């Protein structure tokens, strides 16, 4: 992935894409209990009627199926990471823009962090990560399934938890990104968290994929 900053904040990001998933249906079998021929039973000896009729308490209903086990709790989020709604987690790697370029992460499970701190009062905290790398899918592939209202959580290096909520989902051709750069990545105005990856059509070269996926979130 390459994030090129032109003028003040223009950017181009190149990364990858996720494969679709499928779930097979589970057939349900039904057992039918049939009663066969009637058999004559000998008559029981006549007994005197009891003076008080008693009725045994009804048996509690039985269930042939056990309740499904509870899902295991999500592992605790480590300090210095960002976690998306479905659980995708990346380690934050602070980086500086040099010659207009934000360095790419060295690992699939890392996100380059540039700009404001996650707890700042103003400016953009920009996190850029790979969507895939060497045939493996990265946590930022989840950005292509992210919707408005989804949570994003950052635990900073001190262990403080910062909770955000997605307010805007943007898909741009990389040629369109320079016109939105100041709006998206500028260090003025209200604070926002900006997560960036790529996808769409593969064009190769230094661009990689044709599009950028950009998620904007604000503190809850």
pLDDT tens-place string over residues 165-214: 999 999 999 889 889 999 999 999 999 999 999 999 988 887 789 999 99
Asked whether residue 9 is assigned to any structural domain, the reply reads yes
Q: Following DSSP, what letter does each residue of 139-191 receive, concatenated?
A: GGGGGGG--TT-EEEEE-TTS-EEEEEEEEEEEEETTTHHHHHHHHH-SSSB-
**Predicted local distance difference test score (pLDDT) of residue 203:** 87
Query: CA–CA separation, 168 vs 129, rounded Å?
Result: 18
Average pLDDT value for the chain:
78
Asked whether residue 64 is assigned to any structural domain, the reply reads no
Rounded average pLDDT over 93-108: 85
Q: Does 95 have pLDDT greater than 90?
A: yes
Q: How far is CA 48 from CA 51, 114, 149, 172, in A?
A: 9, 93, 74, 91
**Predicted local distance difference test score (pLDDT) of residue 81:** 99
Of 202, 163, 26, whose CA–CA distance to 85 is shortest? 163
Q: Does 14 have pLDDT greater than 70?
A: no
Rounded average pLDDT over 58-67: 64
Asked whether residue 30 is assigned to any structural domain, the reply reads no
**Terminus-to-terminus CA distance in the chain, angstroms?**
30
Range of the domain at 95: 3-15+76-219
CATH code of the domain covering residue 114: 2.40.260.10
Asked whether residue 46 is assigned to any structural domain, the reply reads no
Asked whether residue 159 is assigned to any structural domain, the reply reads yes
Task: Give the residue, 113 or 207, on which the prediction is more confident.
Answer: 113
Q: Which residue has the tokens 């494969």?
A: 19
**Predicted local distance difference test score (pLDDT) of residue 72:** 74
Asked whether residue 32 is assigned to any structural domain, the reply reads no
Most confidently modeled of 60-69, 100-109, 164-173, 195-204? 164-173
Task: Give the residue, 74 or 181, on which the prediction is more confident.
Answer: 181
Task: Give the residue, 125 or 62, on which the prediction is more confident.
Answer: 125
Asked whether residue 199 is assigned to any structural domain, the reply reads yes
Buried b (16+ CB within 10 A) or exposed e, 108-136: bbbbbbbbbebeeeebbbbbbbbbbbeee
Number of domains in the chain: 1
Q: Which of 102-106, 133-137, 149-153, 190-194 has the lowest mean pLDDT?
A: 102-106
Asked whether residue 58 is assigned to any structural domain, the reply reads no
């Amino acid at each position: 992935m390459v994030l090129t900053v032109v003028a003040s904040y223009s950017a181009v990001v190149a990364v990858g894409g996720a494969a679709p998933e499928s779930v097979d249906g589970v057939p349900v079998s039904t057992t039918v209990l049939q009663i066969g021929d009637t058999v004559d039973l000998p008559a029981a000896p006549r007994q005197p009627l009891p003076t008080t009729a008693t009725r045994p308490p009804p048996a509690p209903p039985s269930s042939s199926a056990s309740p499904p086990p509870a899902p295991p709790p999500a592992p605790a989020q480590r300090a210095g990471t960002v976690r998306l709604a479905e659980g995708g987690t990346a380690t934050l790697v602070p980086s500086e823009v040099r010659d207009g370029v934000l360095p790419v992460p060295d690992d699939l499970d890392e996100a380059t962090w540039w700009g404001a701190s996650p707890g700042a009062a103003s400016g953009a905290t920009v996190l850029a990560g790979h969507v895939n790398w060497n045939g493996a899918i990265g946590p930022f592939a989840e950005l292509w399934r992210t919707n408005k209202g989804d949570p994003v959580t950052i635990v900073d290096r001190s262990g403080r938890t910062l909770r955000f909520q997605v307010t805007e989902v943007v898909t741009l051709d990389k040629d369109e990104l320079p016109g939105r750069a100041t709006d998206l990545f500028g260090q003025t105005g209200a604070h926002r968290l900006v997560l960036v990856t790529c996808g769409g059509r593969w064009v190769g070269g230094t661009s990689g994929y044709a599009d950028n996926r950009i998620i904007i979130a604000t503190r809850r």
